[in-house]
Chain A
């Protein structure tokens, strides 16, 4: 079985977000970037399936700027076999990303695509579902458990009110939730090995898909700040304050 794992380069989740004063976007100059945390979980799951012997090849793919090579190297260091960078300086919408990933899937013919449920920059939570639709493959989103069972994949999903288990026929698209696994850190020897693993670079134009944006960003602003309140020194004082505030 072959797995394709799309990974996105995003602002590191620990970095404080700064909105540019001209309201044109978020300041990404000279800040730490990293693999989207949900995509790390996706890579980890693929590697675990490979370690169990069900998977023979893992291909990581990223669409983004030249520096996105770094997140692909991370994926390779975690255990992916090959990587593909579709280089572009444009910030693509999920629809365009999914169209490119569809073209990649048609070339690579994976049995399974595992990807993040959400990129923590745009917070769209859409690309996996769109890709599944475009490929006409079944989808199992927000996965907290994945099990191969013959030609079917059993996926436990985090849904409103609890959990749901679905059986999806392969090939399929799975998106990861936080509880699926805890991603490993790449060891130094594996980071060194990853430098020698194959990484292909292509251009968006190589795929001939329509990536024209549908959305124009009029402005990006900072949300209203919540002002810090007061410290109280006892439970009694807290209750008195809550009564005054009218919430008790």
Chain B
């Protein structure tokens, strides 16, 4: 059986999410092809081709694909779908946007946020903010899955020499117009790929405080910065920083939560981190129930102390 993996990339590099989705796809066995879409993806395609077990890399380019318009992306994938028994998509905001469209057109049930491939038709996925895990078996002949990247190890074995083949994007009469992008640029590692994450909550009180308190620590640790919903809602941090049930799911080696209470919706996005540190002045804060190391303290003194202790 052949699987089509949809690549997530930044225009120059494949993201980690793609390597993890490849790993999930290997659990389905069989031939794996990778689709790289966007514009100017010639640098990215060979990266995908270099992984062991990749049979073929397909590329498709158009302005609509670059803008990631769901109608265009799903039409492209559907034009290829006949050749595959499964389509595996990273469960990013982008993937979640177009994956259900593919399932709808194929008249199959989407299986979202897969954390374990039990067999070719049986999968485990979190429900209720990760407070329960359901194992489901699908009767659909074709499977459309989104894969939760943090649940899989990135493929590392290279040495593959898959061919790269351009496919043309089907023409679609779009009723959607791209207006603008407002992307946050940063020299820090991306949240999804970072080994260390420093995350701030409502306690930080303002955007200035959020930045001036968390950045020095993140700089020192080479960390990405995350946030709770309360911090994002209050405008201390951009939306893209939100960690949780309805934000990003992360699993770094080290997650440092500063002034975050630990609501279940937040825990849903970080409780699979290897080591969790909580800094909170309330000893009863629920975050301490999942923290490996808890420091009951006011962040205003604890963070300068921590910086000093790190040397």
Q: How many of chain A's residues have a CB under 8 angstroms from any CB in B?
A: 80
Task: Contact check, B239 vs A220: say whether CB atoms are below 8 A apart.
Answer: no
Min CB gap A128→B, angstroms: 8
Stretch from A55-63, A68-76, A117-125, A187-195 forming part of the interface with B: A117-125
Interface 0/1 of B111-150, CB less than 8 Å to A: 1110000000010001111111111111110000000000
Interface 0/1 of A93-109, CB less than 8 Å to B: 11100100000000000
Q: Which residue of A lies closest to B98 (CB)?
A: A129
Alpha-carbon gap, A154 to B97, bound state (A): 17
Q: How many of chain B's residues have a CB under 8 angstroms from any CB in A?
A: 87
Task: Contact check, A235 vs B306: say whether CB atoms are below 8 A apart.
Answer: yes
A88 at the interface (CB under 8 A from B): no
User: Given contacts A235-B309, A242-B277, are A220 and B71 in contact (CB under 8 A)?
Assistant: no
By secondary structure, the B interface counts as: mixed
B26 at the interface (CB under 8 A from A): no
B residues within 8 Å of A by Cβ?
Answer: 67-71, 74, 92-94, 96-101, 103-105, 107-113, 122, 126-140, 174-184, 196, 221, 229, 232-233, 238-240, 245-246, 253-254, 264-265, 271, 274-277, 283, 288-296, 302, 305-306, 308-310
User: Given contacts A238-B306, A247-B254, are A121 and B179 in contact (CB under 8 A)?
Assistant: no
Alpha-carbon gap, A87 to B126, bound state (A): 27
Task: Contact check, A229 vs B100: say whether CB atoms are below 8 A apart.
Answer: no
Task: Contact check, A165 vs B138: say whether CB atoms are below 8 A apart.
Answer: no
Alpha-carbon gap, A232 to B265, bound state (A): 26
Min CB gap B206→A, angstroms: 18
What are 30 A-B contacts defined by CB distance under 8 Å? A124-B112, A128-B100, A129-B70, A130-B100, A132-B101, A139-B176, A141-B70, A142-B93, A160-B94, A162-B239, A163-B182, A164-B178, A168-B176, A168-B177, A172-B175, A214-B139, A215-B138, A215-B139, A216-B139, A226-B271, A229-B291, A231-B288, A231-B294, A231-B296, A232-B294, A232-B295, A234-B295, A235-B295, A235-B305, A238-B309
Task: Contact check, B181 vs A163: say whether CB atoms are below 8 A apart.
Answer: yes
